[in-house]
């Protein structure tokens, strides 16, 4: 349930940005992590990419944990 029915459109817009934002940013920053320690013709350093993705997921989970409820 949304916190305030009078502002449902705004709240859904924020939810959409929170959902689509990372999907838009990931392809832009992934080449940076694929290039870390990669050699020519190796196809990229996927270990660095996956470790970074895991760290971002853990940080996100830790940042959401203190949220108690909607205002």
Nearest-CA neighbor of 71 among 16, 21, 11, 13? 11
Tokens of 53: 């993705």
What pLDDT shows up at residue 71? Answer: 60
pTM of the model: 0.67
What pLDDT shows up at residue 6? Answer: 86
What pLDDT shows up at residue 5? Answer: 79
Tokens of 49: 């990419």
Q: What is the pLDDT of residues 9-52, one digit of tens each?
A: 888 898 899 889 989 999 999 988 888 877 766 777 888 889 99
pLDDT at 1 over 80: no
C-beta of residue 30 within 8 angstroms of C-beta of residue 49: yes
What pLDDT shows up at residue 48? Answer: 87
Q: How many CB atoms neighbour CB 33 within 10 A? A: 19
Instruction: Give CA separation, 2 vs 9, 11, 21, in Å.
Output: 10, 7, 20
């Amino acid at each position: 349930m949304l916190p305030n029915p009078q502002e449902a459109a705004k709240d859904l817009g924020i939810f959409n940005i929170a959902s689509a934002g990372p999907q838009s940013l990931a392809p832009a920053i992934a080449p940076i992590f694929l290039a870390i320690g990669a050699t020519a013709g190796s196809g990229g350093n996927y270990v660095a990419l996956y470790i970074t993705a895991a760290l971002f997921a853990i940080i996100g989970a830790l940042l959401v944990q203190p949220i108690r409820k909607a205002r």
